[in-house]
């Protein structure tokens, strides 16, 4: 037990000794720390003392600079006073010099002004002398003009007397020779009626295909042989074919009217041989080149004499029917295959009525103071005078075509336009009034392009070829016809005619027409 207690005490002593050693180490560390702090404090004190000494040196330098600055300010003030004195002296010298220069310039300008005033007085005197001479010349001119006025008044009096004499002669001639002078609205109205009747016949009898039991190929061959215009018109149920078919029928009728009914000296002289009519036409044409008034009088008297000799009158309906009947038969022979059997009599009756009206209109127009000429050649380039007739069936084709071609309408055959165009009225050299009315059409290149677009629309189904019964073979025929349009002579000269209505509104011109 005693041994155990002694060992425990030793352990306690060792622990206490260890604590003392650790505390002693800490005390040593604290002493070193205190020593370091003292050294640091001494270093800071030394640095502060050095900074104070440096600041004192800077303060002394600043004092020295302030002293030098005061000396410099005094020098600047002294220099400013000297500069001000020099400036005042310079200004005084300059003022004296400028006053002297101004006085010299005043003297010079005064001398120049006196010289200029003297020159102006001399120039004014010269101008007054010149004006005086001009006044004398004008007085002489006024005197000569007064004399010329007196002569002109005498001439005017003689002219008025001669005019009155000519007017009296005119009244006498008008009482002896009276020519028909239809007003322009009457001619326009008659032409409009013919135009409407022609369109009505074409749409009524040629808008539909021939009967279903007809041989289309045989009809196509017959039409090819009868008129070359049908070489470009395929007989299908499409809107394009209907449009071309109606326009082709119109062209056949118009061709007969222009080439047969509406020819010089034709209509009422059924008994006159063709060679004599040709002679009359050549005489009329030659006189028209020499003197229009002589030609008008000769034509009127010739027609009147022929009518009297043939015991026929221009307004006799039987004569007009007689002249229209052969052309009715000729046109019926060409177009009969396109008209159903039950409508052929109605077609011939309506056609004969139309041609009779055309003959009646011509019998009145050719005796009027006018000449009617035909121009069957279309222009080579597009112009505002040659326009195409709108096609209602092709509205969607036209809209699509316009997107790809600028201003290219969707039709190719001309409008059958009979109305005189008032905007084309102009004065001729002999004082008469000229009115031109012409049907309208686009040039060949555009027609060819438009037809090609129409066939493309058919091929693309825009005109519903399945519904209309258009097959591939017929579309190929149309395409082949399109490629030969520009080579066809009749198509290139398709219905362009010009009516020249010579309306003499003045009384002097009426004398010659009488």
Q: What is the pLDDT of residues 367-426, one digit of tens each?
A: 666 555 544 444 444 443 333 344 444 444 333 434 433 433 333 333 333 333 233 333
Residue 152: predicted pLDDT = 92
Looking at the domain assignment, is residue 121 inside a domain? no
14-28, 202-216, 347-361: range with lowest mean pLDDT: 202-216
Residue 37: predicted pLDDT = 85
Looking at the domain assignment, is residue 303 inside a domain? yes
The kind and range of the H/E element at 268 are none
Using DSSP, state whether 501 is helix, strand or coil.
coil
CA 307 to chain centre: 51
The answer to whether 310 and 271 are in contact (CB under 8 A) is yes
Residue 34: predicted pLDDT = 83
Q: What DSSP string runs through 350-362? A: HHHHHHHHHHHHH
Report pLDDT digits (tens) over 212-269: 666 777 777 787 777 777 777 777 777 777 877 888 888 888 888 877 777 767 655 5
Q: Is residue 329 over pLDDT 70?
A: yes
Rounded to 5°, angle at Cα 483 from 477 and 488: 100
Report for 150-154, 481-485, 502-506: range of highest mean pLDDT: 150-154
**φ, ψ dihedrals at 414, nearest 5°:** -75, 160
Residues contacting residue 51 through CB under 8 Å, at least 6 positions apart: none
190-199, 270-279, 315-324, 344-353: range with lowest mean pLDDT: 315-324
Which residue among 59, 76, 92 closes a domain? 59
What's the whole-number mean pLDDT along residues 420-442? 32
C-alpha to C-alpha distance for 217 and 215, rounded to whole angstroms: 6
Looking at the domain assignment, is residue 391 inside a domain? yes
- Comparing 431 with 235, the larger pLDDT belongs to 235
C-alpha to C-alpha distance for 463 and 444, rounded to whole angstroms: 24
Residue 3: predicted pLDDT = 63
Band the pLDDT of 478: cuts 50, 70, 90: very low
Q: Where in the sequence is the domain holding 54, given as residue range(s)?
A: 10-59
Which residue among 59, 77, 94 closes a domain? 59
- Put the strands of the sheet holding 421-427 in their side by side order: 371-374, 497-500, 433-437, 421-427
Looking at the domain assignment, is residue 155 inside a domain? no
In terms of Cα–Cα distance, which of 319, 251, 285 is closest to 496?
251
Report pLDDT digits (tens) over 5-41: 777 878 888 888 888 888 888 888 888 888 888 888 8
Band the pLDDT of 174: cuts 50, 70, 90: low
Residues contacting residue 388 through CB under 8 Å, at least 6 positions apart: 409, 411, 412, 413, 414, 415, 440, 441, 442
Q: Is residue 167 over pLDDT 70?
A: yes
Burial call 26-41: b when 16+ CB within 10 Å, e when fewer: eeeeeeeeeeeeeeee
Residue 438: predicted pLDDT = 34
Report pLDDT digits (tens) over 97-138: 888 899 889 889 989 999 999 999 999 999 999 999 999 999
C-alpha to C-alpha distance for 56 and 59, rounded to whole angstroms: 5
The answer to whether 430 and 438 are in contact (CB under 8 A) is no
C-alpha to C-alpha distance for 66 and 73, rounded to whole angstroms: 10
Looking at the domain assignment, is residue 287 inside a domain? yes
Looking at the domain assignment, is residue 399 inside a domain? yes
Same domain flag for 243 and 372: yes
Sign of the CA dihedral running 186, 191, 195, 200: positive
Q: What DSSP string runs through 180-213? A: ----HHHHHHHHHHHHHHHHHHHHHHHSSPSPTT
Number of helices and strands (H, E) in the chain?
Answer: 14, 4
Looking at the domain assignment, is residue 130 inside a domain? no
The answer to whether 393 and 243 are in contact (CB under 8 A) is yes
Looking at the domain assignment, is residue 113 inside a domain? no
End-to-end CA distance of the chain: 184
State the total domains in the chain.
Answer: 2
Same domain flag for 55 and 182: no
Residues contacting residue 126 through CB under 8 Å, at least 6 positions apart: none
């Amino acid at each position: 037990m005693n041994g155990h207690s002694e060992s425990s005490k030793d352990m306690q002593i060792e622990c206490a000794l260890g604590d003392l050693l650790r505390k002693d180490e800490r005390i040593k560390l604290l002493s070193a720390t205190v020593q370091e702090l003292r050294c640091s404090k001494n270093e800071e004190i030394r640095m502060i003392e050095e900074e104070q000494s440096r600041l004192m040196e800077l303060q002394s330098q600043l004092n020295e600079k302030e002293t030098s600055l005061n000396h410099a300010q005094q020098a600047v003030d002294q220099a400013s006073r000297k500069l001000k004195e020099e400036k005042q002296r310079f200004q005084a010298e300059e003022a004296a010099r400028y006053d002297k220069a101004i006085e010299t310039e005043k003297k010079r300008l005064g001398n120049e002004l006196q010289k200029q005033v003297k020159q102006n007085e001399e120039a004014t005197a010269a101008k007054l002398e010149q004006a005086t001479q001009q006044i004398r010349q004008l007085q002489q001119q006024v005197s000569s003009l007064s004399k010329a006025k007196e002569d002109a008044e005498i001439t005017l009096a003689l002219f008025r007397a001669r005019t009155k004499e000519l007017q009296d002669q005119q009244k006498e001639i008008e009482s002896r020779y009276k020519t028909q002078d239809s007003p322009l609205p009457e001619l326009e109205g008659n032409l409009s009626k013919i135009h409407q009747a022609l369109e009505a016949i074409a749409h009524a009898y040629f808008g539909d295909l021939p009967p279903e039991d007809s041989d289309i190929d045989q009809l196509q061959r017959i039409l090819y042989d009868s008129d070359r215009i049908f070489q470009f018109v395929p007989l299908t149920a499409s809107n394009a074919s209907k449009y071309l078919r109606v326009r082709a029928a119109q062209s056949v009728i118009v061709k007969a009217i222009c080439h047969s009914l509406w020819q010089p000296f034709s209509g009422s002289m059924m008994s006159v041989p063709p060679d004599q009519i040709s002679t009359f036409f050549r005489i009329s044409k030659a006189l028209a080149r020499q003197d229009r008034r002589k030609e008008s009088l000769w034509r009127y008297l010739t027609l009147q004499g022929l009518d009297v000799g043939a015991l026929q009158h221009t307004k006799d309906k039987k004569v007009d029917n007689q002249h229209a009947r052969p052309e009715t038969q000729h046109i019926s022979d060409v177009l009969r295959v396109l008209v159903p059997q039950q409508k052929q009599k109605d077609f011939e009756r309506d056609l004969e009525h139309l041609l009779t009206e055309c003959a009646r209109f011509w019998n009145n127009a050719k005796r009027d103071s006018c000449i009617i000429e035909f121009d069957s050649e279309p222009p080579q380039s597009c112009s505002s005078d040659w326009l195409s007739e709108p096609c209602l069936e092709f509205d969607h084709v036209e809209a699509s075509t316009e997107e790809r071609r600028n201003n290219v309408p969707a039709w190719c055959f001309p409008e059958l336009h009979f109305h005189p165009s008032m905007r084309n009225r102009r004065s001729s050299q002999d004082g008469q009034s000229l009115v031109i009315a012409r049907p309208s059409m686009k040039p060949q290149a555009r027609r060819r392009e438009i037809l090609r677009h129409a066939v493309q629309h058919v091929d693309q189904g825009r005109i519903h070829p399945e519904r209309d019964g258009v097959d591939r073979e017929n579309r190929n025929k149309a395409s082949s016809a399109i490629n030969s349009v520009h080579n066809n002579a009749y198509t290139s000269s398709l219905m362009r005619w010009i009516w020249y209505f010579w309306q003499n509104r003045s009384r002097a011109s009426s004398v010659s027409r009488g």
